[in-house]
């Protein structure tokens, strides 16, 4: 199966700062990659699909990039509601696999 | 509004069985594939099972293969995950999600399964 590795495990940033999260696939997944945000006690919610397309209602401060094996989620100016855990997921091949998550903390 | 509501979780003994349900509303259920994803306490996300829009195709994670059955009821607009031979490592919050060709755009709130004697 394709192993997804996220870094860093924890990212400490200040409100208003820019944050860059990384996701690496053990083999190429083309652009079949999604990003999700999960807040404590809540289900994950879709942020980005096809590596760079924002889901409906997602603010423009969230952007995704990359293809093949290297992907990045960038949050341009962190708001208080952005402090959460972020997961990447590949859907290029079965089984779907997720990264272990990056926790964004203040 | 588009909504998924899971139910059926609970406490079950090792070796026991449980069937999870996911009721869909606010969209044309027959048009979409569906998946189940789980999250063990304090852990990350693990995809569990998939069923195509017409139920012709199903997929399962190796960790549950042979122990789970995924199905859909188009009259009730629901999908189900029947789980047998449950193990402690199956303890998790189970989410159902709408599957748009691999990415999961709508998630339910989850139902908790605890496998313990």
pLDDT value, residue B105: 97
CB atoms within 10 A of CB B113: 21
* Sign of the dihedral through C-alpha B100, A4, B113, B49: positive
Whether the per-residue pLDDT at B93 is higher than 90: the answer is: yes
By the CB < 8 Å criterion, does A83 face chain B? no
pLDDT value, residue B65: 97
Q: How far is A6 from chain B (nearest CA, A)?
A: 11
Structure tokens at A33: 């990659």
Contact (CB, 8 A) for B85 and B67: yes
> Per residue in B16-75, pLDDT tens?
999 999 999 999 999 999 999 999 999 999 999 999 999 999 999 999 999 999 999 999
| DSSP structural state of residue A78 | -
Average pLDDT over residues B69-92: 97
Place of tokens 């869909």: B24
Asked if A98 and B44 come within 8 Å (Cβ–Cβ), the reply is yes
Question: Beta B111-115 vs B92-100: how paired, if at all?
Answer: antiparallel
Q: Which residue of A has its CA nearest to B45?
A: A98
pLDDT band at B102; cut points 50, 70, 90:
very high
Asked if A87 and B44 come within 8 Å (Cβ–Cβ), the reply is yes
Average pLDDT over residues B100-111: 97
pLDDT value, residue B29: 96
pLDDT value, residue A106: 85
Averaged in consecutive runs of 10 residues, what is the pLDDT profile of chain A (106 residues)?
Answer: 97 94 98 97 97 97 98 95 96 97 94
Asked if A91 and B35 come within 8 Å (Cβ–Cβ), the reply is no
Map residue B90 onto helix, strand or coil.
helix
pLDDT value, residue B10: 97
């Amino acid at each position: 199966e394709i192993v997804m590795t996220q870094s860093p495990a924890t990212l400490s940033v200040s409100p208003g700062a820019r944050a860059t999260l990384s996701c690496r696939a053990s083999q190429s997944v083309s652009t079949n990659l999604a990003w999700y945000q999960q807040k404590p006690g809540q289900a994950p919610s879709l942020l980005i699909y096809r590596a760079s397309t924002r889901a409906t209602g997602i603010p423009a401060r969230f952007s995704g990039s990359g293809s093949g094996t290297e992907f990045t989620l960038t949050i341009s100016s962190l708001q208080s509601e952005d402090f959460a855990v972020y997961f990447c997921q590949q859907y290029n091949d079965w089984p779907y696999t997720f990264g272990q998550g990056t926790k964004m903390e203040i | 509004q588009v909504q998924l509501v899971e139910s059926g979780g609970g406490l079950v003994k090792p070796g026991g069985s449980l069937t999870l349900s996911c009721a869909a509303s606010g969209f044309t259920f027959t048009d979409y594939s569906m998946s189940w994803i789980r999250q063990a306490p304090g852990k990350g996300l693990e995809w569990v099972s998939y069923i195509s829009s017409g139920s012709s195709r199903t997929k399962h994670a190796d960790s549950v293969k042979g122990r789970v059955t995924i199905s859909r009821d188009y009259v009730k607009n629901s999908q189900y995950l029947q789980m047998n031979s449950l193990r402690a490592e199956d303890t998790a919050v189970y989410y159902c999600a709408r599957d748009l060709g691999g990415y999961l755009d709508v998630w339910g709130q989850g139902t908790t399964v605890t496998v313990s004697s």
